[in-house]
Amino acid sequence: MVPSILFEIMLIGLLGIGAQWAAWRYRIPAIVVMSVTGLLVGPILGFINPEEDFGNLYNPIISVAVAIILFEGSLNLNFKELRGLGKPVFRISTIGAFIAWILGSLTAHYIAGLSWPVAFVIGGLFIVTGPTVIMPLLRQSKLKPRPAKILKWEGIIVDPIGALLAVFAFEIIAYLTAENPNGAALVLFFVGSVFAGIFGWLCGRGIGWMFETGHIPEFLKSPAVFVVVILCFTIPDEFMHETGLLSVTAMGITLANMGISSVADMRHFKENVSILLISAIFIMLTASLKMDTLLQIFSPNIIGYVLLMMFAVRPLSIFLSTIKTDLSLNEKALVGWIAPRGIVALTVSSYFASILTDAGYEDASILTTLTFGLVIFTVIAHGFSIRGLAKKLHLSMEGRPGTLIVGSNPFTVELAKSLRKARVPIIIVDSSWEKLRYARKEGVPFYHGEMLSEQTEYNLDTIPYEYIIAATDFHSYNALVCTTFMPEYGRTNVFKISPFRQIDSSSSDIVSKIGGRILFKEKMALDDLNEKINNGYIFRQTTITQQYSYKQYVEEKDDATVFLYVIKPSGQIRFYAEDTKAIPGAGDIIVSLTPPNKEIKKIQAKLENQRSNGTNNGTKE
């Protein structure tokens, strides 16, 4: 056991983030690594048991964390995303959820051996997927926009619906089995659900109005939202258990669709907090399990139940609910397979296990085992299969990471052509149709629109592109583009052309310290690059080998050469930036902007060599 609660909190955070890093480093599903880590330090090795150690604080900590995670996920649910997807999402979240409830309940009764009341409670709960498991999978799988949006919307919307279905089933059971049935409890449930939805909407509108009118200063916006989220969850949940999830979801969707600019800034911050919470909560939940629970998972009735839920109930509910929609067969197959269960299923099932057992349903004692069996099997199966299945169904954005270039001019067009020659997906974005003539003339893919506008966000598919280069004539705008997209793409993948040539020294300090990394050379401004293109500079590829080292290449190159990027043997692109320290090795291809005189010299040397050979041949004759 750990020496103190403080040490245990530190250990949980360290293990959670460590698991996330290991998953990123070795390309393993994060939820799998977190689950295994929690099992190792908990029931297997016995280092920690958060449920016992935290005592009465354990459940409130889990509940508040789930509320924040669900709210952060719902902040991404803008109705504009539903263009062309409204019907499938609505069908899956309503008809599909109902079919999954009925089929899941039948499976729980006939296969898992649960009584009808317990089966219908757990059948309602198990329709959930949720952002805690769906979001990490979507980050790693690189799905095409349509299936990714469907899975995201379903996961966040159905999360509170599943919890409410479980509560509804329990209330129905309590009503039907009572000696003196009283419909007041059922009425209270519906009133509580309606109240939760309205309360969440009011919280969203209220905090949004205060943001828009300036009643909350910038430095208090994120703390204020956190407090309101906890308020929004707690008040309805005290009134009717599990309605708090519906309330925070309604609040998040309301804020997401109010068009408030500061919500985007908060979204990035809350996404970071959610990753921390997901990591910690997964460690806590899995570490709190008992060894008996783990061993019971492998009983035939639980394995049979889990397999039917994965291979029959889920696919049937998706295929039946999406009849006469525009979803392709491949999209139905992928969505019908991917349904990992996560934190909400684990936390709510433990709650119902206790109250159903107290109500006299002895078979409810296996609910925790059944839930964890479904969670662990779906997390592993779906986590490891989503990428391969998406690729086979042609629903993944496979291939080399692409580059999105903001600004159309002679240099960026030639850069795009060189990247396309290296089979790298590229696109040039510019709001000026006149400047896009360079891209149109050379046949380079382009998008006409303002990169920072909301319309572009929904019309331009940015999934294939992992790098952004801001290279317009306005250096402040370049910095703004980089600052905007840095939270999404990461600092190492966002670049701007050096501004130092065209702006004065006082503003150069400001622009250089915000936005992305300065591309190529620090003193190589966009005007310099365009001038080189106009003077006939060419893009040249040079392969580094064991015989021709990088050091030799640097010694022989022309002083006017500009290093642009390196193509690794794996196909990855590494752009030269102000802080680039890595030295290319054997097998790497360096792409540079080379003076034309070097090519002329090479041609002259070749001609002289041919003449020399011809002279020697003539002498021999």
Indicate the range of 301-310, 546-555, 576-585, 606-615 predicted with least confidence: 606-615
**How sure is the predictor about 602, in pLDDT bands with cuts at 50, 70 and 90?**
low
**Angle between the 261-287 and 475-489 helix axes, to the nearest 10 degrees?**
20
Confidence band, pLDDT 50/70/90 cuts, at residue 303: very high
Average pLDDT over residues 421-445: 89
Q: Please give the residue that has the higher pLDDT: either 498 or 24.
A: 24
Q: Is the pLDDT of residue 92 over 50?
A: yes
Contact between 129 and 341 (Cβ < 8 Å): yes
- Are the CB atoms for 66 and 128 separated by under 8 Å? no
Choice among 74-83, 204-213, 435-444, 582-591 with the minimum mean pLDDT: 74-83
Long-range contacts of 218-227 (CB under 8 A, 24+ apart): 218/262, 221/262, 221/266, 222/266, 222/269, 222/270, 225/266, 225/270, 226/68
Stretch 145-159: mean pLDDT? 85
For range 66-92, the mean pLDDT: 79
The confidence score (pLDDT) of residue 587 equals 83
Q: Residue 277 in 3-state DSSP?
A: helix
What is the pLDDT at residue 28? 77
In this structure, what token pair is assigned to residue 153? 């919307």
Q: pLDDT confidence of 326, banded at 50, 70, 90?
A: confident
- Give which of 548, 541, 544, 526 is closest to 593, Cα–Cα: 541
Q: Reply yes or no on whether the pLDDT at 619 is more than 60.
A: no
Please provide the distance, in angstroms rounded to a whole number, between the alpha carbons at the two ends of the chain. 93
Q: Left, alpha or beta for 130 (phi > 0: left; psi -120 to 50: alpha)?
A: left
Can you spell out the DSSP letters for 98-122? HHHHHHHHHHHHHTS---HHHHHHH
Round to whole Å and give the CA distance between 286 and 41.
Answer: 9
Question: Is residue 109's pLDDT more than 60?
Answer: yes
Tokens of 187: 């009425």
Residue 402 binned pLDDT confidence (cut-offs 50, 70, 90): confident
Highest mean predicted confidence (pLDDT) among 47-51, 214-218, 580-584, 586-590 = 47-51
- Phi, psi torsion values for 408, nearest 5 degrees: -105, 120
pLDDT of residue 398: 65
pLDDT of residue 267: 61
Please compute the mean of the pLDDT values over residues 174-196 and round it to a whole number: 80
- Region 517-539: mean pLDDT is 83
Q: What is the mean predicted confidence (pLDDT) over 205-214? A: 89
Q: What is the pLDDT of residue 95?
A: 93
Instruction: Return the pLDDT at 102.
Output: 94
Report the mean per-residue pLDDT for the chain.
Answer: 83
- In the numeric block, which tokens belong to residue 147? 């299936």
Q: Max alpha carbon distance in the chain (Å)?
A: 121
**For residues 396 and 133, what is the distance between their CA atoms, to the nearest angstrom?**
19
Query: Rounded distance, CA 526 to CA 26, Å?
Result: 38
In angstroms, the CA 44 to CA 291 distance is: 7
pLDDT confidence band for 9 (50 / 70 / 90): very high
pLDDT at 255 > cutoff 70: yes
The C-alpha atoms of residue 369 and residue 358 are separated, in whole angstroms, by: 18
Length of the chain: 621
**Average pLDDT, integer, range 286-314:** 89
Is residue 110 pLDDT above 90, yes or no?
Answer: yes
| pLDDT tens readout for residues 280-298 | 888 888 898 888 878 888 8
Do 352 and 125 form a contact (C-beta atoms < 8 A)?
A: yes
Q: Above 90 in pLDDT, residue 553?
A: no
Nearest to 92 by CA among 150, 156, 145: 150
Name the more confident of 124 and 396: 124
* Average pLDDT score over residue span 535-554: 85
Angle between helices 261-287 and 131-141 in degrees, nearest 10: 110
Confidence of residue 603 (pLDDT cuts 50, 70, 90): low
Structural contact between residues 520 and 562, judged by C-beta atoms closer than 8 angstroms: yes
In the prediction, which pLDDT does 621 show? Answer: 37
pLDDT value at 506 more than 50: no
Average pLDDT over residues 345-365: 81
Place 549 in a pLDDT band, splitting at 50, 70 and 90.
Answer: confident
Write the DSSP assignment of 496-557 as a string of letters.
EEB-TTTS-HHHHHHHHHSSSEEES-TT-BHHHHHHHHHTT-EEEEEE--SSS-HHHHHHHS
What is the residue extent of each domain of the chain?
5-392, 402-606
**Percent of the chain topping pLDDT 90:** 20
The position carrying tokens 């992305």 is: 516
CATH architecture of residue range(s) 5-392: Up-down Bundle (1.20)
What pLDDT sits at residue 501?
Answer: 57
- pLDDT recorded at residue 518: 83
Q: What is the 3-state secondary structure (H, E, C) of 400-442?
A: CCEEEEECCCHHHHHHHHHHHHCCCCEEEEECCCCCCHHHHHH
Contact call for residues 239 and 192 (beta carbons, < 8 A): yes
Least trusted range by pLDDT, from 215-219, 415-419, 508-512 = 508-512
Q: Is 470 helix (H, G, I), strand (E, B) or coil?
A: strand
Q: Are strands 402-406 and 426-430 parallel, antiparallel or unpaired?
A: parallel
Q: Is the pLDDT of residue 620 over 70?
A: no
Residue 106 clears pLDDT 70, i.e. is over it: yes
CATH of 402-606, one of 3.40.50.720, 1.20.272.10, 3.10.20.30, 3.50.50.60: 3.40.50.720
- If DSSP codes are grouped into helix, strand and coil, which group holds residue 463? coil
From its phi and psi, is residue 408 left (phi > 0), alpha (psi between -120 and 50) or beta?
beta
Whether the per-residue pLDDT at 230 is higher than 90: the answer is: yes
Q: What is the pLDDT of residue 458?
A: 64
pLDDT of 26 > 70? The answer is yes
